[in-house]
Amino acid sequence: MAELRKLRTRAGEPSFRKMAAKSGAVSHATLHLTVTGRRLQPWETVREFVRACDGDEEEWHARWQGVQLVLSGDREPDPAPAPVRSRWRSKRVLVPLALVLVAAIAAVVVILVAPGGDDVAGPPHPGDSSRFVSDVTIPDETVVKPGSQFVKVWEIKNTGTVEWRKRYLRRTDLPVAPGACRTPERIPVNDTAPQGHVQVTVTVSTPPTAPVDCKVFWKMVDEQDRELFPASKPIYFSVLVRP
């Protein structure tokens, strides 16, 4: 989306990795798809992009809803202008919000329907799907000691029709900030047949100082570090490091 690219420019062109670290909820690859993909990303993804660039969530949610309506073909966006925020005013000209929305929608549609390229917004393998099952160890908000180690285990299910081979969970907030919990950058996921369950394990080292709240997000990737479920929510662990 051209307007989202302008928003990122106004924010100082932060790298997608820095934006992902600031968001804490989506990976840098998912944020990159927001402005390069050929399909409208879910609002949750666009919202994290806007938040990472200190944008106005209410304003951008209205834009996103307008684009979604146009692409669905159900009806045209409501032409009635919403209350205009001061940022759209100048001393000489008052720009109707409806015109701004039309311009933004047109820019998005051009990008989304441009010919050529793969549909990178969906999983690379048709029929691929996953579901989080449970925290096997270390429930969220567990209190742990500074300078210690613990082993986190998740259980996830292969809910699709594609066998998982040579896959990993990759930490999304790379490079890791000083004072954060330390882990490997990637952890292996055992080969898993469709409809099978798998437990994934990571060893975590807590920082030597406290208090610190550690919340680390992970996304599934293949051997080439390609994200396999770009539109899905990440898996995570969350602990409270206390003396």
Write the DSSP string, 86-107: GGGB-SS-B--HHHHHHHHHHH
Q: 166 pLDDT exceeds 90? A: yes
Q: Is the Cβ–Cβ distance between 63 and 46 less than 8 Å?
A: no
CB 164 within 8 A of CB 198: yes
CA distance 140 to 25: 15
Q: Does the pLDDT value for residue 90 go beyond 50?
A: no
Edge-first strand order for the sheet with 130-135 is 130-135, 149-158, 197-205
What are residue 223's phi and psi, to 5 degrees? -60, -30
Q: Looking at per-residue confidence, does 236 or 15 come out higher?
A: 236
Q: Of 76 and 61, which is predicted with more confidence?
A: 61
CATH 3.40.50.300 is the classification of domain 130-241: no
User: Is the pLDDT confidence value at 75 over 70?
Assistant: no
In Å, how far from its chain's centre is CA 40? 13
* Contact partners, residue 211, CB within 8 Å, separation at least 6: 240, 241, 242, 243
Specify the pLDDT at position 212: 92
Question: 54: which residues sit within 8 A by CB, 6+ positions away?
Answer: 11
Res. 84: pLDDT tops 60: no
Q: Give 72's pLDDT tier (boundaries 50, 70, 90).
A: low
Query: In the predicted model, is pLDDT for residue 74 greater than 60?
Result: no
Instruction: For the chain, give the mean pLDDT.
Output: 80
Task: Determine what percent of the chain is predicted with pLDDT higher than 70.
Answer: 78
Per-residue pLDDT, averaged over 59-68, amounts to: 84
What are the start and end residues of each CATH 2.60.40.10 domain in the chain?
A: 130-241
Q: What is the pLDDT of residues 29-49, one digit of tens each?
A: 888 888 887 778 888 888 888
pLDDT of residue 1: 65
In angstroms, the CA 105 to CA 220 distance is 32
Distance between CA atoms of 209 and 225, rounded to whole angstroms?
A: 32
Cβ atoms of 238 and 140 within 8 Å: the answer is yes
Residue type, 231: A
Separation of alpha carbons 204 and 215, rounded Å: 11
What mean pLDDT comes out for the span 168-189? 93
Closest CA to 234 of 87, 20, 7, 14: 20
Q: pLDDT higher for 239 or 23?
A: 239
135: helix, coil or strand? strand
pLDDT at 119 over 50: no
Q: Report the pLDDT averaged over residues 73-78.
A: 50
Q: How many CB atoms lie within 10 A of CB 228?
A: 19
Q: What crossing angle do the helices spanning 43-52 and 28-36 adopt, rounded to 10°?
A: 100
